[in-house]
Structure 1
Amino acid sequence: MTWLKAIFIGLLLLVIVAISGFFIWLAPVGAGYTAKVLCSRIFVSGLSSERALREDVLSDNNSLLSLITANIDLRHQTVSAHAFGFRTRVAVYRPNLGCTLTDPDHVASLQNTAPVLRPIPPQPLMTAPLPPGTDRRKFNNILADAMDEPTIEPSRRTRAIVVMYKGRVIAERYGEGITVNTPLTGWSMSKSAFSAILGRMRLNGMLPPLNYPVSINEWDTRPNDPRVKITYDELLQMSSGLEFDESYWNPVSDVVQMLFVAPSAAGLAVSKPLAQTPGTVWAYNSGTTNVLSAAMRNLSMSMQQYQALPTELLFRPLGMRHAVIETDSDGYLVGSSFMHATGREWAKLGQLYLQDGVWNGTRLLPKGWVAHATSPAPNAPDGAYGAHWWLKLPDYGNKLSQKGSTLPEIVPADAFFALGHDGQSLSIIPSKDLVIVRLGLTRSHNAFNPRQFVGGIASLFPTHQDDPARDNTTDDTDTPSR
């Protein structure tokens, strides 16, 4: 009987550990994720409460999220979530800032603070038919396949596709309940948009040269802090050397805690110590974008001006009337992950980069900014990453296409990409004059192949020589020579 008693005690201890682990680590993450995602999908994207819960929170996700209870307040535009009454988190919607995750005690103070911005005049994109000679049947079949489901149980969930050719929309498709005016999350595509805002600041004289160290109060005020040597460029190229765990499966990882638990995403990011010498090791790190966000705040005269930068510097010039970058509870823009925009607005960002930073005849990004962003970062594996832009697309299993792969290289070599969680992608192909946006909710890597999608579309359009008027020779980014 002694061994039975030992087994019982052992099982009891395991249960206690599991329950403790749930309430200590999983509950706050689950409550934060549920409240934040529901709030953004309901009040920013305009999805129904039932659909947002069913698809965006529970579909293909950890079953423990089903233990989280959510309360949606349509009148006050808040979503609270908790686990059996414990670890309550609240997401608050505010105009021009989207949804912010916070604790119940801070809801009222957040609701009373939001920047007042001038309305953005519309800049509708022109449309055009498919160019003569394009295989219409193949083109439509590629789009239809991307919108279709590979199995009876939905797993692809493509929500929006926009294809631009020579600056005009030639095709767009939308999922059920999604329209041309529906802002959709970009997740890590936000990083590429955030780099464009930094480019706008550089052009306007608000940002120092990229080879200058970033100004972070916590670093600057500590004697002999080695992090004061980290440059803007090292952050943009993911070679800051900062310690950061990017494991999304781990509830206590830095990225999960930063997005769904910590009161300040920027605060957590700047608190990380150095793990390597800056500029020596490439490591994808969502925290680096939020370090840049903190630096951007230091370069602004006020919180009001800082929070208005995305709108005034990027969204207004491009006519992105529905776009928003959400903040943490301390007011810092979560540039790593929390931008929403319509399919056409994401396409406008791509078109700006296709046109070397020029929009309607006006230069919005410094000369050389796009060329630098799309040049391989030092130490990036197989040249897969530039400066907050990807230079290669993932394939099955989320592995990047590698040189020497047995897979055919169907995506043009000059293509570059903004990529995000759940299958978000913005593809720019200068040699084809193409911009391709695909937004959805695809958690299974086997449900959708971005290389086949982008490569299939690109193969139907002619390749042209570089435009002689396109000038990347003058570099105004002031990046260090290597």
Structure 2
Amino acid sequence: MAWLKAIFVGLVLLIIVAVSGFFIWLAPVGAGYTAKVMCSRIFVSGLSSERALDEDVMADNNSLLSLITANIDLRHQTVSAHAFGFRTRVAVYRPNMGCTLTDPENAAALQNTAPVLRPITPQPLLTAPLPPGVERRKFNNILAAAMDEPSVEPSRRTRAIVVLYKGRVVAERYGEGITVNTPLTGWSMTKSAFSAILGRMRMTGMLPPLNYPVSINEWDTLPDDPRVKITYDELLQMSSGLEFDESYWNPLADVVQMLFVAPSAAGLAVSKPLAKTPGSEWQYSSGTTNVLSAAMRNLSNSSQQYLALPSELLFRPLGMDHAVIEADSDGYLVGSSFMHATGREWAKLGQLYLQDGVWNDTRLLPEGWVAHATTPAPQAPNGIYGAHWWLKLPSEGQQAADTPAIPADAFFALGHDGQSLSIIPSRDLVIVRLGLTRNKKAFNLHRFVGEVSNLFPEHEDADASGDGENTPTGTDTGNNGTAN
């Protein structure tokens, strides 16, 4: 009978360890994730609370999230979440700033600290018919297939597709409840938008040359801190050498703790030690963008100016009146992950880069900024990454033999759950695809971009995308199913 007793004691200990692990490690992450995601989807994207919970939090996700209870306060525009009354986290919505995750005792004070930002005048995109030679039926079939589900149980959940040709909308599709005015999360596509803001800072003289060491207070004040040698460019090229665990499956990983537990995303990122010599190795790291965010704050005259940088430097010139980059509870912009924008606004970011940083005949990004962003980082394997832009799809080389090739000059902003912004200069194309696709087999981005791009002709002259003449402003005639 002793062995039965031993088994019983072992099971009891195992249960205790499992329960303890849940409350110590999983509950804070689950509560933070639930509160933050639901707040952004309800108060930024305008989705129903039921959809925000059932789809954006629970669908195809870890079943342990079902142990988290969420409470939505529509009057005060907050979402709180907890595990059986413990580890409560609160996400607070503020106009122009989106949702910020914090602890319950800080929620009221946070709501009273929203910066005042100037209203943005929208610049609607023009629509245009498909160019001659593009097979309309084949094109519409590709779009329809991208919107359809591969099986009875939804797993693709495409929410928006926008295709620009020569700066004009030639097709767009929206999922149920999503419109041309619905801001949608870009997750890590935010990194590419953040690089554009840094380019604007360089253009206006706020940012030093990229080969200068980055200015971080925590590093500068420590004697002989080796991190002070890290440059802006090494951060943009994901070769800072900073230790950072990007494992989303691990609740203790740096990226998970940074986004859903730590009070300061930038604070956690700048606290990481050096693991490699700066510039010696490429490692994709969401922390690097938030180190840049901390540097941007140091380069600003005030917290008000810093928080207004996305609006004043990027969203206003492009007329992106729905876009927002959310901040953490310490007031740092979460440049790695938390931008929301409509499908057309994400397309505008792509068009700005397709036009070599020129918009409305005005240069917004320094000459050479786009070329540098789309030049392979010295340590990036197989030239996959530039400066906060992907130069190849991570799955490239794994596609089926019959998958159409993507033009070699294409580059991409990519984000969690299947977000993508594809820029193809040789075809004068910008392709946006936004959704909620957690099963990578449910949507083949390489096939989609390859099929679309191969329908369009190569542009007629070498400078068609760089002179600003195709800048896409005019009357917005968008609807939920345009395919011209």
With the shorter chain as reference, the TM-score category is over 0.9
- Is contact 2:143-2:173 (8 Å) kept? yes
Q: Deviations over 1:83-125 (max 9, x none)?
A: 0000000000001110000000100111001111111111010
- Is contact 2:404-2:447 (8 Å) kept? no
Deviation at 1:400, TM superposition (A): 3.7
Aligned to 2:192: 192
- Residue 428, structure 1, aligned to residue 423, structure 2: yes
Deviation at 1:381, TM superposition (A): 1.1
- Residue 287, structure 1, aligned to residue 287, structure 2: yes
Measure, in 2, the Cα distance between the counterparts of 1:423 and 1:456.
Answer: 17
Measure, in 1, the Cα distance between the counterparts of 2:12 and 2:323.
Answer: 51
Q: Deviations over 1:405-443 (max 9, x none)?
A: 967561000000000000000000000000000000000
- Is contact 1:352-1:358 (8 Å) kept? yes
- Is contact 2:232-2:292 (8 Å) kept? yes
Measure, in 2, the Cα distance between the counterparts of 1:462 and 1:240.
Answer: 39
Aligned to 1:106: 106
Measure, in 2, the Cα distance between the counterparts of 1:322 and 1:151.
Answer: 33
Give the secondary structure class of the aligned counterpart of 1:446: helix
- Residue 28, structure 1, aligned to residue 24, structure 2: no
- Is contact 2:97-2:325 (8 Å) kept? yes
Residue identity in the other structure for 2:445 = P
In 2 relative to 1, CA 321–470 (structure 1 residues): closer, same or farther, beyond 3 Å? closer
- Residue 467, structure 1, aligned to residue 462, structure 2: yes
Deviation at 1:467, TM superposition (A): 2.5
Measure, in 1, the Cα distance between the counterparts of 2:465 and 2:22.
Answer: 56
Measure, in 1, the Cα distance between the counterparts of 2:239 and 2:400.
Answer: 26
Aligned to 2:297: 297
Residue identity in the other structure for 2:353 = Y
Q: 1:108-147 counterparts in 2 under 5 A?
A: 108-147=108-147
Q: Deviations over 1:24-46 (max 9, x none)?
A: 00000000000000000000000
Measure, in 2, the Cα distance between the counterparts of 1:319 and 1:353.
Answer: 15
After superposing the two structures, state which structure 1 stretch, 287-296 or 120-129, moved more. 120-129
Measure, in 1, the Cα distance between the counterparts of 2:19 and 2:302.
Answer: 44
- Residue 206, structure 1, aligned to residue 206, structure 2: yes
Aligned to 2:231: 231
Deviation at 1:469, TM superposition (A): 7.1
Deviation at 1:470, TM superposition (A): 6.7
Give the secondary structure class of the aligned counterpart of 1:75: coil
Structure 1 unaligned runs (5+)? 473-482
Measure, in 2, the Cα distance between the counterparts of 1:87 and 1:471.
Answer: 52
Deviation at 1:465, TM superposition (A): 5.2
Specify which of 452, 457, 475 is matched with residue 452 of structure 2.
457
Aligned to 1:58: 58
Measure, in 2, the Cα distance between the counterparts of 1:165 and 1:469.
Answer: 12
- Is contact 1:211-1:233 (8 Å) kept? yes
Number of matched pairs = 467
Q: Deviations over 1:196-251 (max 9, x none)?
A: 00000000000000000000000000000000000000000000000000000000
Measure, in 1, the Cα distance between the counterparts of 2:297 and 2:118.
Answer: 21
Q: Deviations over 1:303-346 (max 9, x none)?
A: 00000000000000000000000000000000000000000000
Task: Provide runs of 4+ in structure 1 moved above 2 Å.
Answer: 399-402, 404-409, 464-472
- Is contact 1:183-1:343 (8 Å) kept? yes
- Residue 340, structure 1, aligned to residue 340, structure 2: yes
Measure, in 2, the Cα distance between the counterparts of 1:338 and 1:466.
Answer: 37
Q: 1:326-475 counterparts in 2 under 5 A?
A: 326-394=326-394, 399-401=395-397, 410-464=405-459, 467-468=462-463
Measure, in 1, the Cα distance between the counterparts of 2:463 and 2:330.
Answer: 47
Residue identity in the other structure for 1:233 = D
Aligned to 1:256: 256
Give the secondary structure class of the aligned counterpart of 2:81: strand
- Is contact 1:211-1:232 (8 Å) kept? yes
- Is contact 1:393-1:401 (8 Å) kept? no
Give the secondary structure class of the aligned counterpart of 1:25: helix
Deviation at 1:466, TM superposition (A): 5.1
Give the secondary structure class of the aligned counterpart of 1:425: strand
Residue identity in the other structure for 2:397 = S
Give the secondary structure class of the aligned counterpart of 1:123: coil
- Is contact 2:180-2:343 (8 Å) kept? yes
- Is contact 1:188-1:421 (8 Å) kept? yes
Deviation at 1:401, TM superposition (A): 3.2
TM-score by length of 2: 0.95
Structure 2 unaligned runs (5+)? 468-484
- Is contact 2:428-2:465 (8 Å) kept? no
- Is contact 2:265-2:290 (8 Å) kept? yes
Give the secondary structure class of the aligned counterpart of 1:140: helix
Deviation at 1:464, TM superposition (A): 2.6
Give the secondary structure class of the aligned counterpart of 1:88: strand
Measure, in 2, the Cα distance between the counterparts of 1:185 and 1:84.
Answer: 29
TM-score by length of 1: 0.95
Deviation at 1:62, TM superposition (A): 0.2
Give the secondary structure class of the aligned counterpart of 2:440: coil
Name which structure has the greater RCO, CA cutoff 8 Å, separation 6+.
2
- Is contact 2:90-2:103 (8 Å) kept? yes
Aligned to 2:71: 71
Aligned to 1:475: none
Deviation at 1:147, TM superposition (A): 0.3
Measure, in 2, the Cα distance between the counterparts of 1:109 and 1:439.
Answer: 34
Measure, in 2, the Cα distance between the counterparts of 1:109 and 1:274.
Answer: 35
Residue identity in the other structure for 2:154 = P
Residue identity in the other structure for 1:357 = G
Measure, in 2, the Cα distance between the counterparts of 1:92 and 1:66.
Answer: 22
Measure, in 2, the Cα distance between the counterparts of 1:328 and 1:263.
Answer: 7
Measure, in 1, the Cα distance between the counterparts of 2:12 and 2:403.
Answer: 54
Measure, in 2, the Cα distance between the counterparts of 1:382 and 1:271.
Answer: 30
In 2 relative to 1, CA 400–148 (structure 1 residues): closer, same or farther, beyond 3 Å? same
- Is contact 1:156-1:444 (8 Å) kept? yes
Residue identity in the other structure for 1:330 = D
Aligned to 1:479: none
Deviation at 1:393, TM superposition (A): 1.5
